[in-house]
Amino acid sequence: MKKSNKIKKMLSRHELESELLGRVQEIIGSGDAGTLDFYGWAEDYTQWVLAHEMRLSITMCIRSGFSKEELREHLVRLCDGVGCDVSIFQNDDFFEPLDELENKIMKRVHKKSKKQMAEDILSGKLEPIGKFGFLPAEIKNSTWINEIFEVMSLANIQLFFDEYRHVHWFETVHELNYVGTGPDLLDLVCFGFTGFLSGGVIKFPPWTLREITEWDTSKGPQKSIDPIIYIKKLIENCQDFMNANPAGGLNGIGNGDVLFRKALRLAKTRLKLDTEKFVYADELAYFCGLDKRTLANNGLLQPKEKHEHSSRVLSKDALNFLVHRIRPDKSPLQRERKRVAIDRDLKKDFYRSIWKEQVKYQVYVDGHWDDDMQIVESSIFE
């Protein structure tokens, strides 16, 4: 019997439930296949980034000539989320990369007297901007802060932060109410790597989802939203968080940055494949692990316009090719091309997204661990 050249438009509900459970298992499971702990990476990455930002803030104050008492007051303010000095709001660039900020701090300290620098910070001329508003209660307590640093010299306080002995202060990542971090990064992986949405019931609800749906702690989402609006906002928030922070060098940051930037790039391409008429050839090449010559040899590339940096590929042709092994001229692929996998820790590549079926059937997986998952219904997306 001749095989159909048409993509099956929708999975049935039964097919969706089976496929969704398998994909969720890939993300939160830890079986013999060596599946990566993606949420563990999201926690680690967020935790070390916040610790790094606090270190830079303390470094700035010490280089500015703060006394121990001034430093203590600053730390209390920082921990209370009133003024976390990780971005000097001089040029309206809130998400300035922190390694560039550190260089700027050094230049400012050298240009000004230490006394003047300290006075500018304390008077508000260099306005501290609060980014992250949560720390455990005992750290917010000024008495506790006083006690831990009372016997230390300024040099030893600097060493305390330089050695990241404060990193455990940020272990409760799921309680850090800031979009683009922790649970948001996990949902980015879910969508970018495997094409499904958590619906707020895998691990912890993403902060972006909570914000858009006016999430109530006890009642959950208070309104339904357009999934495309959510996906775009999730991508934007995660990108802003990553762009605000260093690309590597610290435990938990370097490898995390590589992982989540890959998820970000895949998520952008997947959204285009699912919702737009075409993608660019370089985007598709990264997404599927085939070089542009292979894409061209299989008739996927459209004629390139003069102003375009890369040839286009029709999204329907790309999905037919990747999912059903059918070229644009309707001829079937005779053999599998060697390609780089989306991620080496996944058992297979998930080129076809299933989030549209999830929205149609209102089906999601409630699961915190891979051995405790169940199908649930939710109207969070419409």
Q: Where are the domains of the chain?
A: 13-35+179-377, 44-175
Question: Helix H segments across 64-153?
Answer: 68-79, 98-111, 114-123, 137-140, 142-149
Residue 154 burial class via C-beta count within 10 angstroms: exposed 0-12, middle 13-18, buried 19 and up: middle
Q: In one letter, which amino acid is 124? A: G
**Nearest CA-CA partner of 247 in 255, 238, 237, 236:** 255
Look up residue 376 and give its two tokens: 């649930």
pTM of the model: 0.79
Distances (CA, A) of 74 to 60, 128, 129, 142, 186: 11, 10, 13, 11, 33
What six digits make up the tokens of 298?
């299989």
Query: For residue 7, what is the DSSP state?
Result: P
Query: What pLDDT tens digit does each residue of the chain (382 aa) get?
Result: 344 445 557 899 999 999 999 999 888 875 443 345 888 889 888 888 888 877 877 887 887 788 888 887 777 666 655 223 322 222 333 334 334 444 544 454 445 455 665 565 555 554 433 333 333 444 444 555 666 677 778 888 888 888 887 777 777 777 777 899 999 999 999 999 999 999 999 989 999 999 999 999 888 999 999 999 999 999 999 998 888 776 655 656 778 888 999 999 999 999 999 999 999 999 999 999 999 999 999 999 998 888 888 899 999 999 999 999 999 999 998 877 666 666 777 778 899 999 999 999 999 999 877 778 899 999 999 9
Q: In the 8-state DSSP scheme, what is residue 346?
A: S
| CB burial of residue 171 (10 Å; 0-12, 13-18, 19+) | exposed
Contacts 24+ apart (CB under 8 A), 374-377: 375/17, 375/20, 375/21, 376/199, 376/201
Gap between the Cα atoms of 263 and 193, Å rounded: 6
In terms of Cβ atoms closer than 10 Å to its own Cβ (0-12, 13-18, 19+), residue 324 is middle
